[in-house]
Structure 1
Amino acid sequence: MTDFAATKSKFHLPEGIIYLDGNSLGPLPKAASARVTEMVEDEWGEMLITGWNKAGWMALPLALGDRIGRLIGAEPGSVVVGDTLSIKVYQAVASALELVPQRRVILSDNGNFPSDLYMAEGLLCSLGPEHELRVVDPEDVAAQITEDVAVLMLTEVDYRTGRRHDMKALTELAHANGVITVWDLAHSAGAIEVDLAGCKADFAVGCTYKYLNGGPGAPAFIYVAPRLSDKVRPALSGWLGHASPFAFDLDYRPGAGIERMRVGTPPIIQMSALSVAMDIWDMADMAQVRAKSIELTELFITQVEATCPGLTLASPRDPALRGSQVSFRFDEGYAAMQALIARGVIGDFRAPDVMRFGFTPLYIDETDVGRAVDILADIIGNRLWDRPEYKIRQRVT
């Protein structure tokens, strides 16, 4: 049984703050500062370059990959951590395309995170005009999975509304049509139960700074199904994906299995912080996290709709069809969110009018939900958002 009071005690949560933005950046695990200091002073400081061997730095990407793999239903040895999410998207899609060289279409939807679409566009520009990025409405994806499609590239949980794709059904449909799947789990890992192995997903990628609480700029991860991992050619053939990195061969030879999807030198300081965050996740059961998330989001929706009539639910009403966030539309959503933040309730805003709230049971409880709704109702009911300073757009929203 997951003890959510115990997990909450493991995070630094500033006094008076209700943090409903873990879907964008997770809070600081209390032990992270000490672990990073230990790594910097005792490992980097005292061991210098010998830390790659003595402190086990070189093994961290695979060790962390297996710990994340437990949360996303991945087989042991099928996930590796490193680089950024955009790089991992490019890497996965490029490798997937090569598995079906006779096809030229990447299928995605307009609810996908724009960076994923940008990476696909850039890749296809390099490959030539015969390739196509086909972007459709989310509800039209299934009908567009046809035998001319090479790769289905989707984010499982929509970053704006929390709408959730059916990974199992779409993957089965894709495979029936000879299509390779690439799933972005940025808003899934640590938020909902994921079963990559059970769904027979081909590739998956995700970040670790949102629900996994690895810190700003924490590295991404990539999954390759074991049935494919010794077949795929890593399009980004970095030196740490080489079969023998320290042989310094002039020709590239891919490493075994998921090792070949390593690219550059791993960010060890950031991985040290992530390892502490994963210690907290080791205290949690994903099925219980998901059940608690549904309780909290249902409570939030019920109370907001009862007290804030100016807000319109943008997320799916059925909790089975959404992730661990709730979004409401409001014409003055940006100003209202700034007013909320000024009152100690931190969510975020996505253009043009979406107020977005993330719910992480590891540190959010029913009391937090009630207090947040009371403050939101006061701001909306009394038009406290209608002040000039709340309408000045910051660079990060």
Structure 2
Amino acid sequence: MAKGKLWGGRFSGRLLPELEAFSSSLEVDSQLYPFDVAGSLAHARGLRAAELLDGDRLHEVEQGLRQVRQELDEGAFEFRESDEDIHTAVERRLTEVAPEAGARLHAGRSRNDQVALDLRLYCRAATGALAGGLAELLTALAAQAQRHAGWPMPGYTHLQRAQPVTVGHHLLAFAEPLLRDARRAEHAYDAADELPLGSGALAGSTLRLQREEVARQLGFRRLTQNSMDAVADRDFALDLVYVCTLVGLHLSRLGEDLVLWSSAEFGYVRLPDEVATGSSIMPQKRNPDVAELLRARSGRPLGSLVQLATILKGLPLAYDRDLQEDKAPLFAAVENAVDCVEAARLVVERLAFDRDRLHAALADPDLYATD
């Protein structure tokens, strides 16, 4: 048996060390550990509900998983070369802590449906974090819009002065697409809100698994209906990455206008010291670096979207090892979106508009040609 491997039953030899390193995903998927532990706890309780695990063994599993979670939280968990992913690492350590009980935890569960569960739990949590950040950014935009509701400024088409608007109206034009993004995030959450556990490797399980009980414990509103699709589906991850992509695109437009407005040529807004940088050689400069980075980083989730879609394209049903690669683009897109939303909020809250410069720009008679 390939020592320490969940799949090692019929193997007498060991995978080449170079290929073991090549195949490992631990460096990427280790951040799934809170969801892996939570899923294992729920699975153990589901086994108990199905009378497939007695009360004493359940208690041992619960205690063992709490210890594993604590070690991971505190950075005291010792990973081994044989830990090819976070799922095998957690199960290996649990079996060390509670040998007999830990060995029974794999009953009725494949790594395929376990991974699908962890990823859905992650997507629900990530969607919630993104939606929360968007709500705070929308609040900041609304506050600035209300504060400047009566401040007129030029509106633009083709980057040419077109007609008068107000600062408040312009700021709310940034809020509307972000509000749509928040609604899309709700859809992404709903797409992830199905329990795949119980699907096994691809054909379910002959055990009397209590899927409804596991779903209740983990807060899932629905069960997946087709076991093959359940282990192969990553549409919910694509949905979330798409939301992140649109968030980035919308923030890039906000960033672009802030770059223009804060320039000497416009002068409509001043970026205070805490959200601007200077120059190493030109002391007069006040550079809108954060706004420029919002503009630039919009491309990252777009790249993640293409990467994830390419991984999924043409895969045969049901599970393929290609799906191991789904996590890097997903995690990158979410991290980028959450960070950019937070950065945008910090800037928006501190914008200081120059009423005199806005008033001077309104003196252009061409602004009133349509009227």
Q: TM-score, normalised by structure 1?
A: 0.21
User: Greater relative contact order: 1 or 2 (C-alpha under 8 angstroms, separation 6 or more)?
Assistant: 1
Higher strand share: 1
Q: Which has the larger radius of gyration?
A: 2
